[in-house]
Chain A
Amino acid sequence: MKIQGSEALLKSLIKEDVNTIFGYPGGAIMPIYDALYGYMDKINHILTRHEQGAIHAAQGYSRVSGKVGVCFATSGPGATNLITGIADAQIDSTPIVCITGQVPSQLLGTDAFQECDVIGISMPVTKWNYQITNSKEIPEIISKAFYIAKSGRPGPVLIDITKDAQFSEINFKYKKCEKIRSYHPYPIIDQNKVAKAAKLIDESTKPMILVGQGVLLSNAEKELIEFSEKSGIPMASTLLGLSAVSCNHKNYVGYLGMHGNYGPNVKTNECDLIIAIGMRFDDRVTGDTSKYAINAKVIHIEIDPSEIDKIIKTDVAINADAKEALLNLIPEIKNSSHENWIREFKECDKLEYKKIIDKEINNKGNKILMAEVINKISNYTKGNSIIVTDVGQHQMVTSRYYKFNKPNSNITSGGLGTMGFALPAAMGAKIGQPGREVIAIIGDGGIQMTIQELATIAQFKIGVKILILNNNFLGMVRQWQELFFDNRYSFTEMENPDFNIISDGYRIKNNIVEEKKDLDKAIKEFLKCEESFLLNVIVEKEENVFPMVPSGESVSNIRLE
């Protein structure tokens, strides 16, 4: 029996186990939305209020569920509105398949209404893209899209389908893609490298593991713990690696990078061996690379060969999936312990606690500090919630103070630093893990970039908690202006709307906390609420996030004040 291309698309998606799509209709994708009308029992489509909301939601969905996130958008502006999210998914290795409608193939290149060369525009920010102009291609291309998006180092794929290809009929047959001769997502592990790495590990006296998102993406959490416990090596996490290891693990020594913990940053230059797993030595982690890991040999476990030796020269590179590499490495290493070395980290923690943490969480001032809010939420939820952050000071404070206890619980825009990410990503996360508590933590700047998604949350009754840490400033930029631009606060102060009235307008329960005495009660009420809830916490206006490695300086120069 012949079916239209649009229906073939939906059947293909179902074959790929897709049951949730985030999207926004429009002229060039109408045949697909028409077909969707007949598939409402099999596919849950969430109508966002902006295509950027759809793609960030798909990202949040993917990051908590491990599934491929899917979104629909129409041609022209619909497609271009996806681009920020696609770039975000590319740099943060999130598997996404975007389906965009396109003008009929005979109109391509004529500047037709809502025509835009989305293939050209998305080329640098997708793992793969393809334009379908013939409905016969649909099953094969969709199966390829899913295979490419989720295999190896995951990433976003965009498939543009012309309107005529959506209409014309085909005989539907589906075969899952298992191989592409020019694409080799899982490099064959080199056992010589494994042996060399094991030797370096056994010989080291001050080794350190850097945990990246690759551990989460390859589900290597268990293997990582086994590796760390057998070798006795302390583990530090990158921003996107957070939650791969429970913050309560005895070998966990904290969070790396510009606003990370004191210990793992300064110890980077004291350690004699770095074992980097599924991370890419981002400049926010390394600071000045010429003064990074100066005493250390480097083992890099990385699935993407182009990341090896890109920033930091390795002594041994294991080009493989993180789980596979750890499974191979664990039997090769000796049982060992590094208690004195780990104790050195704990000494650093004490210093950081005294200089920063104590003052922040036991704040004696009148104004609420971001850290005390996050610390309370971390304690009340026992580190078991999914935390979705936006970009800026609140993001760094959350990364520092939320003590993650379960994997795939830290959803944030790391590489691209996309403000506006958190609210839609949290919706997607809640849909991806409906049984878990999802808390979006957002600044007053970021929430206004995608605030329209409150309507999606209300319409689809997505029980996501929204916490605004509101200082009426673009806080991170203000902090830099204070520290590095002579207090010249150029366009960082914000005169904000009343977020509670806005929330009322969207019919979302809400509360505001302005005084410290009300904070505990408000957080409890916020966490107890079964439905979505927006909590607007007015925090200290000019707070700085410390520790801080000033941009371009050595990690050793981390400032505590």
Chain B
Amino acid sequence: MKGKGIYQVKSSEKEIKEYTLSVLTEDKAGLLNHITIIFNRRKININSLNVSTTEVNGVSRFTIVVNSSKEKIVKVVNHINKLIEVLGAFLYEENEIYFQEIALYKLSSKIFMKGDIVEKIIRKYGAKILVIEKNHTIIQKTGSKDETQSLYNELDKFNGILEFARSGRVALSKKKRKTINFLKQLEKTKSNKLNI
């Protein structure tokens, strides 16, 4: 007979994969710190983090991308759910969400002087020109990290990227869910006091 302890987790739960956490919270200062401490304590590095408001007033959404094992990340999610101001923390694998990142590229105007090759690349990638200044041009691309990186790699060949920035991932689950209904359900449950 094998033991039942933490060292006996299924190998599939030990596999390191990319996970996306979507955490709905009350809009409260300091919560970011509270959440990151939970990762830090377990030495889990956060790949990307995005905090934004939602369609519901006073409710924020944290989208956190990490590489971890299922076994470890489930415990992190449980711990996040324990935080008083967290409304709900959800764990997703890549196929369970729609997600995007946005990247901005500041390109030296010089590289547009070499014919239309750069313009073709920009068009091929579906990137958008945001601003054209005398010395530089800013283009914007949304997509997965692979896609924005691939455009970066192509442009980098021209030696003209002055600055580059990529946002954290934003994601929405494929599930049929409305934040407001989720909140209504939370408010309805009688788990605020002992029912005996």
Q: Which residues of A contact B (CB under 8 A)?
A: 119-120, 123-124, 127-128, 148, 151, 178-188, 286, 288-296, 298, 304-306, 310-313, 321, 323-324, 327
Minimum-distance CB pairs A-B, first 10: A289-B5, A306-B78, A184-B191, A290-B3, A179-B192, A290-B7, A313-B4, A128-B84, A182-B87, A294-B1
Would B37 and A290 count as touching, CB distance under 8 A? no
CA distance A295 to B3 in the complex (A): 8
Would A186 and B5 count as touching, CB distance under 8 A? no
- In the bound complex, residues from chain A placing their C-beta under 8 Å from that of B1 are 294-295
B41 near A: Cβ within 8 Å? Answer: yes
Supposing A188-B191, A305-B78, A324-B196 touch, asked if A312 and B5 sit within 8 A by C-beta, the answer is yes
Would B4 and A306 count as touching, CB distance under 8 A? no
- The A-contacting residues of B in range 33-47, CB under 8 angstroms, are 33-34, 37, 41
The A/B interface has a contact count, at CB < 8 Å, of 104
Supposing A120-B33, A123-B37, A181-B183 touch, asked if A186 and B191 sit within 8 A by C-beta, the answer is yes
Would B33 and A148 count as touching, CB distance under 8 A? no
**Can you pick out 29 interface pairs between chain A and chain B where the beta carbons lie within 8 Å of each other?**
A120-B33, A123-B33, A123-B37, A151-B192, A180-B84, A180-B192, A181-B183, A181-B186, A183-B84, A183-B192, A184-B186, A184-B189, A186-B194, A290-B2, A290-B5, A291-B5, A293-B3, A294-B1, A294-B3, A294-B4, A306-B81, A306-B82, A310-B75, A311-B6, A313-B5, A313-B8, A323-B194, A324-B195, A327-B196
Q: Is the interface of B mostly helix, strand, loop or mixed?
A: mixed
Would B187 and A181 count as touching, CB distance under 8 A? yes
CA distance A313 to B7 in the complex (A): 10
- The A-contacting residues of B in range 59-114, CB under 8 angstroms, are 75, 78-79, 81-82, 84-87
- In the bound complex, residues from chain A placing their C-beta under 8 Å from that of B41 are 124
Supposing A123-B33, A148-B84, A293-B4 touch, asked if A306 and B75 sit within 8 A by C-beta, the answer is yes
B193 near A: Cβ within 8 Å? Answer: yes
- In the bound complex, residues from chain A placing their C-beta under 8 Å from that of B115 are none
Known: A123-B34, A294-B2, A312-B6. 6 other contacts (CB 8 A): A123-B30, A181-B187, A182-B85, A188-B189, A321-B194, A324-B196
CA distance A120 to B31 in the complex (A): 11
Would A292 and B192 count as touching, CB distance under 8 A? no
A303 to chain B, nearest CB (A): 10
Tally of contact residues, B, Cβ under 8 A: 35
- In the bound complex, residues from chain B placing their C-beta under 8 Å from that of A179 are 192
Would A124 and B186 count as touching, CB distance under 8 A? no
CA distance A186 to B196 in the complex (A): 11
CA distance A179 to B188 in the complex (A): 11
Q: Tell me the nearest residue of chain B to A131, going by C-beta.
A: B30
Q: Tell me the nearest residue of chain A to B76, going by C-beta.
A: A306
- In the bound complex, residues from chain A placing their C-beta under 8 Å from that of B26 are 182
CA distance A181 to B25 in the complex (A): 11
- In the bound complex, residues from chain A placing their C-beta under 8 Å from that of B120 are none
- In the bound complex, residues from chain A placing their C-beta under 8 Å from that of B4 are 289, 292-294, 296, 298, 312-313
CA distance A291 to B5 in the complex (A): 8
Q: Which residues of B contact A (CB under 8 A)?
A: 1-8, 25-26, 30, 33-34, 37, 41, 75, 78-79, 81-82, 84-87, 183, 186-187, 189-196
- In the bound complex, residues from chain A placing their C-beta under 8 Å from that of B85 are 182
CA distance A310 to B6 in the complex (A): 7
CA distance A124 to B40 in the complex (A): 11
Q: Tell me the nearest residue of chain A to B190, going by C-beta.
A: A188
- In the bound complex, residues from chain A placing their C-beta under 8 Å from that of B87 are 181-182
Would B5 and A292 count as touching, CB distance under 8 A? yes
Q: Tell me the nearest residue of chain B to A325, going by C-beta.
A: B196
A484 to chain B, nearest CB (A): 22
- In the bound complex, residues from chain A placing their C-beta under 8 Å from that of B183 are 181
CA distance A232 to B78 in the complex (A): 35
Q: Tell me the nearest residue of chain A to B183, going by C-beta.
A: A181
- In the bound complex, residues from chain A placing their C-beta under 8 Å from that of B78 are 305-306, 310
- In the bound complex, residues from chain B placing their C-beta under 8 Å from that of A185 are 191-193
- In the bound complex, residues from chain A placing their C-beta under 8 Å from that of B6 are 289, 310-312
CA distance A124 to B7 in the complex (A): 26
- In the bound complex, residues from chain A placing their C-beta under 8 Å from that of B195 are 186, 188, 324
- Which of the residues B5, B37, B75 comes within 8 Å of A124, measured between beta carbons? B37
CA distance A321 to B193 in the complex (A): 10
Supposing A123-B37, A181-B186, A304-B82 touch, asked if A187 and B191 sit within 8 A by C-beta, the answer is yes
Would A178 and B37 count as touching, CB distance under 8 A? no
B97 to chain A, nearest CB (A): 23
CA distance A290 to B41 in the complex (A): 23
- In the bound complex, residues from chain B placing their C-beta under 8 Å from that of A188 are 189-191, 195
Would A323 and B81 count as touching, CB distance under 8 A? no
Would B86 and A182 count as touching, CB distance under 8 A? yes
- In the bound complex, residues from chain B placing their C-beta under 8 Å from that of A292 are 3-5
CA distance A296 to B1 in the complex (A): 10
Would A186 and B7 count as touching, CB distance under 8 A? no
Would A290 and B8 count as touching, CB distance under 8 A? yes
Would A182 and B3 count as touching, CB distance under 8 A? no
- In the bound complex, residues from chain A placing their C-beta under 8 Å from that of B86 are 182
B1 to chain A, nearest CB (A): 5
CA distance A286 to B86 in the complex (A): 31
Q: Tell me the nearest residue of chain A to B26, going by C-beta.
A: A182
Which of B7, B82, B186, B192 has the most chain A CB atoms inside 10 A of its CB? B192
Would B79 and A306 count as touching, CB distance under 8 A? yes
Would A323 and B84 count as touching, CB distance under 8 A? no
Would B192 and A178 count as touching, CB distance under 8 A? yes
CA distance A256 to B196 in the complex (A): 30
- In the bound complex, residues from chain A placing their C-beta under 8 Å from that of B3 are 288-294
B78 to chain A, nearest CB (A): 4
CA distance A306 to B1 in the complex (A): 26
Q: Tell me the nearest residue of chain B to A321, going by C-beta.
A: B194
- In the bound complex, residues from chain B placing their C-beta under 8 Å from that of A288 are 3, 5
CA distance A224 to B190 in the complex (A): 25
CA distance A15 to B91 in the complex (A): 41
Would A311 and B5 count as touching, CB distance under 8 A? yes
- In the bound complex, residues from chain B placing their C-beta under 8 Å from that of A148 are 84
Q: Tell me the nearest residue of chain B to A120, going by C-beta.
A: B33
Which of B5, B86, B186 has the most chain A CB atoms inside 10 A of its CB? B5
- In the bound complex, residues from chain A placing their C-beta under 8 Å from that of B193 are 151, 178, 185-186
Would B5 and A286 count as touching, CB distance under 8 A? yes
B129 to chain A, nearest CB (A): 41
